[in-house]
């Protein structure tokens, strides 16, 4: 086996990590390769189609083209969300165009993969030998099989397109011609669940025998939540830790993009007389404005000033917090007897639910504060502890954060395969039993 390649095909940006044959992992500088303004390991997921529907631009090129002029047939900052409506993937991306939504999304994936191939400086044979994986959220049951099938098709096509030259700007004709009509299915091209991959990377692995941990990944399109039991193996074992899923992870389709809409509401509430052009520019800039609000405390645009407090005290922010807490509480309720037994255990007693945040929204203050409050366990209070994942053991992250790279790192690691998804029996752990 020549190793693996995990693509975190994020709603706002794409990251890629390679696992080498010796199991070390290498974060690929695809951002530097594509002159990304985000960081040197991420490419934006944006798509731009010009007014003539002749050129399709991806990533940074899409963002620059939109910045230059608002005149375009399509600008989409979060196109991955199209996968959430698999029945619409085959419709033309724009009326009259021969390309479907799925075709255009496949070009976006090919652009990420082509950048990774250039960074790795490998040929087609080596890429074919790599086990390719792409991460996805927990889609609602009704769309899961359609969305997974589409992502599988896209991955297999993108693999064949990655060597067809530059994908940052392509003509619609070139994309149409390059899309393989017949898919050579690669059995080893696999899908990885985002909350599990992030948990494998970030959840603590040592210094305690047993812990119950919650992973909350606040991305752009989804907030992915998973509850896990971590069991540190004893010294006779070769694995770093065993991670058991407690219940099914969930993805709320409310995250950074939803906060963008709340920020937009605040601006338009303060300035209700904006022209269509001003509104369109404000929409384009809203992700950056929100990030400024949560790092600096406020942002100014179109003559209005929105503060962090304006956003976090809004009705929408409160709804967001309530939905996240309700999803977590439901996961806890499903594991009530198990967690109760760990809290009351005479050895290896658990004292709190440990929470690790990841994704671009990992340090949003009002979310962190909301998660620091205890949950309930029947009649009892379940204390929580927010913990930071340390960078110990991480490969070179080229200045990016581990929270942001967790999905790609975890998805590429051998731990992802070792991670046992079935729940263990309630039993006493003896030396040598793992
Ligand atoms: N300092 C910050 N404060 C608040 N939000 C931030 C900050 N930095 C980035 N974000 C937001 O985090 C989101 C991007 O996070 P991330 O890269 O983890 O998402 P993604 O992987 O692209 O999306 P998803 O996982 O939902 O598919 C964006 O909405 C971005 O605006
Ligand atoms: Mg993500």
- CA 9 – CA 17 distance, rounded (Å): 12
Q: What is the mean pLDDT of the chain?
A: 91
256 lines ligand 1 (CB under 6 A): yes
**pLDDT at 207 (0 to 100):** 58
Residue 142 has pLDDT above 60, yes or no: yes
- CA 12 – CA 77 distance, rounded (Å): 7
Residue 248 falls inside a structural domain: yes
Residue 140 has pLDDT above 90, yes or no: yes
Residues 162-214: tens digit of each pLDDT: 998 889 999 999 999 999 887 766 666 689 999 999 999 998 766 556 789 99
Domain count, the chain: 2
Cβ-in-10-Å burial (0-12, 13-18, 19+) of 281 comes to middle
Residue 1 has pLDDT above 60, yes or no: no
- 359 C-alpha vs ligand 2 centroid, how far in Å? 6
- Is residue 31 within 8 A of residue 168, CB to CB? The reply is no
Q: Clarify whether residues 332 and 432 are in a common domain.
A: yes
Q: Clarify whether residues 65 and 207 are in a common domain.
A: no
Cβ-in-10-Å burial (0-12, 13-18, 19+) of 347 comes to exposed
Q: Which atom of ligand 1 is nearest to the CA of 358?
A: 18
Residue 78 falls inside a structural domain: yes
Residues 29-86: tens digit of each pLDDT: 999 999 999 999 999 999 999 999 999 999 999 999 999 999 999 999 999 999 999 9
Residue 421 has pLDDT above 90, yes or no: no
Handedness of CA 411, 417, 419, 425 (dihedral sign): positive
- CA 394 – CA 411 distance, rounded (Å): 14
Q: Clarify whether residues 160 and 232 are in a common domain.
A: no
Residues in the chain: 434
CATH number at residue 89: 3.30.420
Residue 365 falls inside a structural domain: yes
**pLDDT at 89 (0 to 100):** 98
Residue 307 has pLDDT above 60, yes or no: yes
Structure tokens at 154: 């896209």
What is the pTM (predicted TM-score) of this model?
0.93
- 250 C-alpha vs ligand 2 centroid, how far in Å? 14
Q: How far is CA 216 from CA 213, 363, 365, 368, 433, in A?
A: 10, 11, 14, 10, 30
Residue 422 has pLDDT above 80, yes or no: no
Pick the more confident residue, 263 or 235.
263
61 lines ligand 1 (CB under 6 A): no
Report the 10 Å Cβ neighbour count for 314: 18
**pLDDT at 432 (0 to 100):** 42
Residue 410 falls inside a structural domain: yes
Pocket test for ligand 1, best of 47, 198, 361 (most atoms within 8 A of CB): 361
Residue 311 has pLDDT above 90, yes or no: yes
Residue 28 has pLDDT above 60, yes or no: yes
Residue 328 falls inside a structural domain: yes
* Per-residue pLDDT band at 426 (split at 50, 70, 90): very low
Residue 228 has pLDDT above 50, yes or no: yes
Among 188, 215, 231, residue at a domain's last position = 188
> For 150-184, b where at least 16 C-beta lie within 10 A, e where not — what string?
bbbbbbbbbbbbbeeeebbbbebebbeebbeeeee
Among 161, 188, 215, residue at a domain's last position = 188
What is the average pLDDT across 274-300? 97
**pLDDT at 345 (0 to 100):** 82
- Is residue 417 within 8 A of residue 46, CB to CB? The reply is no
What is the average pLDDT across 293-313? 98
Q: Clarify whether residues 409 and 296 are in a common domain.
A: yes
Q: Clarify whether residues 173 and 64 are in a common domain.
A: yes
Q: Clarify whether residues 243 and 217 are in a common domain.
A: yes
168 lines ligand 1 (CB under 6 A): no
Q: Which of 288-297, 328-337, 341-350 is predicted with the least confidence, judged by mean pLDDT?
A: 341-350
- CA 271 – CA 279 distance, rounded (Å): 10
**pLDDT at 208 (0 to 100):** 53
CATH number at residue 265: 3.30.420.40
Residue 275 falls inside a structural domain: yes
**pLDDT at 211 (0 to 100):** 84
55-58 vs 169-171, strand pairing mode: antiparallel
255 lines ligand 1 (CB under 6 A): yes
Q: Clarify whether residues 131 and 20 are in a common domain.
A: yes
136 lines ligand 1 (CB under 6 A): no
Q: Clarify whether residues 330 and 408 are in a common domain.
A: yes
What is the average pLDDT across 97-105? 98
Q: Clarify whether residues 227 and 277 are in a common domain.
A: yes
Q: Clarify whether residues 182 and 73 are in a common domain.
A: yes
274 phi, psi to nearest 5 deg = -75, 145
Q: Clarify whether residues 87 and 210 are in a common domain.
A: no
**pLDDT at 189 (0 to 100):** 66
294 lines ligand 1 (CB under 6 A): yes
Closest ligand by atom to 13 CA: 1
Residues 339-394: tens digit of each pLDDT: 999 988 887 778 899 999 999 999 999 999 999 999 999 999 999 999 987 777 78
* Per-residue pLDDT band at 428 (split at 50, 70, 90): very low
**pLDDT at 236 (0 to 100):** 59
360 lines ligand 1 (CB under 6 A): yes
SS3 of the chain: the string is: CCCEEEEEECCCEEEEEEECCCCCEEECCHHHHCCCCCECCEEECCEEECCCCCEEEEHHHHHHHHHHCCCCCEEECCHHHHHHCHHHCCCECCCCCCCEHHHHHHHHHHHHHHHHHHHHCCCHHHHHHCEEEEEECCCCHHHHHHHHHHHHHHHHHHHHHCCCCCCCEEEHHHHHHHCCCCCCCCCCCEEEEHHHHHHHHHCCCCCCCEEEEEEEEECCCCEEEEEEEEECCCCCCCCCCEEEECCCCEEECCCHHHHHHHHHHHHHHHCCCCCHHHHHHHHHHHHHHHHHHHHHCEEEECCEEEEHHHHHCCHHHHHHHHHHHHHHHHHHHHCHHHHHHHHCCCCCCCCCEEEEEECCCCCCHHHHHHHCCCEEECCEEECEEECCCCCCCCCCCCCCCHHHHHHHHHHHCHHHHHCCCCCCCCCCCCCCCC
Q: Clarify whether residues 210 and 354 are in a common domain.
A: yes
Residue 401 falls inside a structural domain: yes
Residues 238-274: tens digit of each pLDDT: 555 678 889 999 999 999 999 999 999 999 999 999 9
Residue 401 has pLDDT above 50, yes or no: yes
Domain housing 138: 4-188
**pLDDT at 210 (0 to 100):** 73
**pLDDT at 427 (0 to 100):** 43
Residue 289 has pLDDT above 90, yes or no: yes
Among 188, 219, 242, residue at a domain's last position = 188
Residue 193 falls inside a structural domain: no
- 218 C-alpha vs ligand 1 centroid, how far in Å? 7
């Amino acid at each position: 086996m020549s190793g693996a390649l995990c693509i975190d095909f994020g709603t706002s940006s794409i990251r890629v990590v390679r696992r080498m044959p010796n199991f070390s992992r290498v974060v690929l500088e695809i951002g530097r390769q594509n002159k990304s303004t985000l960081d040197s390991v991420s490419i934006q997921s944006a798509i731009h189609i010009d007014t003539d529907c002749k050129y399709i631009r991806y990533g940074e090129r899409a963002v620059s083209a939109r910045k230059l002029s608002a005149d375009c047939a399509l600008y989409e900052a979060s196109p991955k969300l199209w996968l959430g409506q698999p029945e619409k993937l085959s419709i033309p991306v724009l009326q009259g165009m021969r390309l479907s939504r799925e075709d255009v999304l496949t070009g976006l994936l090919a652009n990420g993969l082509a950048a990774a191939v250039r960074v790795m400086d490998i040929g087609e044979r080596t890429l074919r030998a790599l086990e390719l994986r792409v991460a996805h959220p927990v889609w609602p049951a009704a769309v899961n099989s359609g969305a997974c099938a589409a992502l599988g098709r896209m991955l297999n096509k993108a693999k064949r397109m990655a060597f067809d030259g530059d994908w940052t700007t392509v003509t619609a004709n070139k994309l149409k011609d390059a899309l393989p009509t017949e898919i050579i299915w690669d059995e080893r091209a696999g899908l990885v669940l985002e909350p599990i991959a992030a948990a494998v990377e970030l959840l603590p692995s040592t210094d305690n025998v047993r812990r119950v941990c919650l992973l909350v990944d606040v991305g752009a399109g989804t907030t992915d939540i998973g509850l896990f039991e971590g069991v540190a193996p004893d010294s006779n074992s070769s694995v770093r830790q065993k991670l058991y899923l407690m219940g099914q992870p969930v993805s709320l389709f409310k995250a950074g993009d939803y906060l963008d809409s709340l920020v937009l509401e605040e601006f338009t509430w303060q300035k209700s007389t904006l022209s269509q052009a001003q509104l369109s520019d404000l929409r384009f800039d809203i992700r950056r404005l929100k990030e400024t609000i949560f790092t600096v405390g406020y942002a100014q645009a179109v003559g209005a000033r929105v503060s962090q407090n304006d956003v976090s005290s809004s009705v929408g922010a409160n709804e967001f917090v309530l939905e996240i807490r309700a999803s977590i509480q439901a996961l806890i309720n499903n594991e009530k007897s198990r967690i109760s037994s760990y809290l009351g255990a005479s050895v290896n007693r658990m004292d709190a639910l440990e929470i690790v945040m990841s994704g671009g929204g990992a340090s949003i203050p009002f979310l962190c504060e909301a998660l620091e409050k205890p949950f309930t366990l029947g009649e009892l209070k379940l204390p929580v502890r927010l913990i930071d994942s340390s960078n110990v053991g991480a490969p070179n992250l080229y200045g990016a954060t581990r929270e942001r790279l967790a999905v790609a790192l975890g998805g590429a690691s051998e731990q992802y395969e070792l991670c046992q998804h079935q729940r263990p029996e309630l039993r006493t752990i003896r030396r040598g039993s793992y």
